[in-house]
Amino acid sequence: MDSPATVTEDQTTMTKHTQSSGAMSLDRQSDLQTVLEAWHGATLRLEQTHEALRGEVCRLTDELKAKNRELARKNRLADLGQMASRIAHEIRNSLVPVTLYLSLLRRRFAEDQASMELLDKVGAGVTAVDSTVNDLLHFTVDRDPQLQWVDVRNVVEDVLSSLAPQLVSQDIFATIDVPRAMDASFDPDMIRRAVLNLLLNAVDAMPQGGELVITSYLGPHGLELEIADTDVGLTDDARHHAFEPFFTTKSSGTGLGLAIVQRIAEVHGGSVTARNCPEGGAAFTLLIPQHVREAAA
C-alpha cells in the first residue's frame, strides 16, 4: 500500500503532465491558426494580384487594338495619298491647256456678252476643279516642316486679310486675341494653310453671319491656336469624323480641309482637336508642341 507521500507525488506528476499536454494542444491550435491566417492573407493577395494583372492585360489589349487600328488607318491614308497625288497631278496637267484656251476665247468673244457669260461659268468650273486639285496636293504632301521663328499674329492677320471680302459679304466679325511679338517655331506655309482651312471651315458654318474669335497661348506644352465660331456647333457624328478625309457636312467641297489641318499638325508633332463651346459654336485648337520649338532653337 502506497504511502500518502507517494500518492501526492503521483498526483502532482499527473497534474504537471496534464498541464503540459494542454499547453502543447494550445500551442498547436495557435500555430494552426497562424498558418490559416497566413494562408488566407496570401490567398487574398494572390486574388488582388490576379485582378490587377487581368486589368493590366485588358488595358494593354485595348491599347494594342487602338494602335493597330491607327496603324491600319495610316496605311490606308498612305495608299489613298499616293493615288490622290497621281490623280491630282494628271488633272492639273490637263487644266493647263484648258485655262489657256479659255483665255484665248475670252479675247475672241470680248464683245459678245452672252458668250462671255458662258465662259465665266466654264471658268468658275475650272477654278473649282483647280481648288479640289490643290486640296488633294496639300493632303498628299509628304515633306518635313521647314521650321522658322515666326510671329504668330502676323500669320493670323495675313490670312484674315485675304478673307476680308468674304467676311464682309457674310457679315462676319473677327476678333484677334493673339499677343503681339509672340514668336513660335513652325513651317509658316503649312501653318498658314492650316489657319486658312480652319477659318474657311468656320466661315462656311456661318452663312448668315456671326463672329470669329482667334486666340493663342504659348505655354509649357507649346503653341495653342484656337479658332472659334458662333454657329450652332458640331453634332456628335461631325465631331467624331471631322478630321477624316472626304468627310463633309456641306453640299459642296472635298471634305479634305480639316484632314489637311490634322496632317499639318501631325508632321509638326502636334495635334488638332474639335469641341463645342459652352456658349454655342465650335472651336478648333491647333497645338504645336514645345519640344519642336526647342529643337528648332
Contact residues for 185 (Cβ-Cβ < 8 A; gap 6+): 147, 148, 149, 150, 288, 292, 293, 296, 297
Which residue did the predictor score with more confidence, 76 or 98?
98
Residue 287 in this model has a pLDDT that exceeds 80: yes
- Banded model confidence at residue 81, pLDDT cuts 50, 70, 90: low
d(CA 213, CA 197): 15
Q: Both 121 and 254 in a single domain? A: no
153 and 290 share one domain:
yes
Average pLDDT (129-158) is 81
193 pLDDT higher than 70: yes
Q: What is the mean pLDDT of the chain?
A: 80
Same domain, yes or no: 89 and 133 = yes
Residues 165 and 136 in one domain: no
Mean pLDDT of 223-247: 86
Is the pLDDT confidence value at 272 over 90? yes
Residue 32, pLDDT > 90, answer: no
Query: Which of these ranges, 8-22, 168-182, 183-197, 276-290, has the smallest mean pLDDT?
Result: 8-22
How far, in Å, CA of 249 to CA of 273, rounded? Answer: 18
* Per-residue confidence band for 296, with pLDDT thresholds at 50, 70 and 90: very low
User: Looking at residue 59, what is its pLDDT?
Assistant: 83
Q: Which three cell numbers stand for residue 259?
A: 484632314
Q: What is the pLDDT of residue 172?
A: 92
Residue 292, domain extent: 148-296
Read off the pLDDT of each residue in 191-195 and give the average, rounded to a whole number. 91
> 240-264, pLDDT tens digit by residue?
888 887 777 776 666 788 888 998 9
Q: Tell me: pLDDT of 138 over 70.
A: no
Highest mean pLDDT: which range of 117-121, 180-184, 213-217:
213-217
- The reply to whether 9 and 32 lie within a common domain is yes
Pairing of strands 210-219, 222-228: antiparallel
Give the chain's domain count.
2
Let me know whether 125 and 158 are in one domain. Answer: no
Cα–Cα distance measured from residue 286 to residue 114, given in angstroms and rounded to the nearest whole number: 47
